[in-house]
Amino acid sequence: MLRALLLVLLLTFLLMPESFDPILRPLVQQNAPAIYNQGSLLTLTLLHLRTVAIATTAAILVAVPMAILVTRPIGAEFLPLSRGLVNIGQTFPPVAVLALAVPTLGFGEKPTLVALFLYGLLPIFENTLTGLTTLPPSVMEAARGTGMTGLQRLFKVELPLATPVILAGIRLSVVISLATATIGSTVAAKTLGEVIIAGLQANNLAFILQGGLIVGALAILIYDTLSAVERVAARRTGLNVR
């Protein structure tokens, strides 16, 4: 019920932000706008989500195959190298990645996508690796005993059983990216960071609060949605995930 109420409040605010003016008015100076008026909050939210979705999809397409490769005999020796690569995003702060990417890619969404992509690799890679290397030995032996090939075991046994753990990594990556994407507005990317930056520049607490609360609400709702998907996948595999 609380999550449903949060969703209703979020949609109401994005579609009819002016209705919240009386609540936010005490937070601003006299004659200053209480509702962000330099663009559409709904549009910025959708663009923010699009940026996160693109970066996360790219991270999945790289991290999952990489983890699969290093769990095969042919690619086991590349595990240290792979771990080093996916740790780059955690080693360099997103702000530093943006600073390095802007001279090459210019201002806008592209540097932000690079930063979010690098930042999102580690949780997806590590969870996929964990999911594939902690499978019940009895199940794997049974799969081999039925005469399955390596590819058949991968797609029919290993990946289905590892799906809940992989989804947990994706969930973590998405939530991290939702918060981190706000810094993209420092290089002219269209994200909810625009609202926060505008509030800082104008000393407008209401703007800062709006940007932060929208990102926080999105993080909670998406976290819960992905957690529900994870639980469904766990039940199908016979695992118990809270």
Distance (Å, whole) CA 60 – CA 7: 27
DSSP state of 154: I
pLDDT of 15 above 80: yes
User: What are the structure tokens assigned to 230, written together?
Assistant: 């994870």
Per-residue model confidence as pLDDT tens digits over 93-124: 888 888 888 888 889 889 999 999 999 999 99
What's the pTM value of the predicted model, to 2 decimals? Answer: 0.90
8 A C-beta contact, residue 63 and residue 86: yes
pLDDT band at 239 (very low <50, low <70, confident <90, very high): low
pLDDT of 240 above 80: no
Average of per-residue pLDDT across 161-181: 94
The vertex-158 CA angle with 132 and 84, nearest 5°, equals: 25
Per-residue model confidence as pLDDT tens digits over 26-84: 998 888 899 999 989 999 999 999 999 999 999 999 999 999 999 998 888 999 999 88
pLDDT band at 146 (very low <50, low <70, confident <90, very high): confident
DSSP state of 38: S
pLDDT of 164 above 90: yes
Segment among 47-51, 73-77, 177-181, 238-242 with least mean pLDDT? 238-242
Q: What is the pLDDT of residue 242?
A: 47
Q: What is the pLDDT of residue 225?
A: 93
Burial of 218 (0-12, 13-18, 19+ CB in 10 A): buried
Q: What is the pLDDT of residue 95?
A: 83
pLDDT of 145 above 90: no
Q: What is the pLDDT of residue 233?
A: 87
In CATH, which superfamily holds the domain spanning 39-237? Answer: MetI-like (1.10.3720.10)
* 48: number of Cβ within 10 Å: 28
Please, what's the b/e burial string for 62-84 (b: 16 or more CB within 10 A of its CB; e: otherwise)?
A: bbbebbbebbeeeeeeeeeebee
Q: What's the mean per-residue pLDDT of the chain?
A: 90
Q: Which of 12, 42, 41, 17 is nearest to 196 (CA)?
A: 41
Distance (Å, whole) CA 98 – CA 187: 8
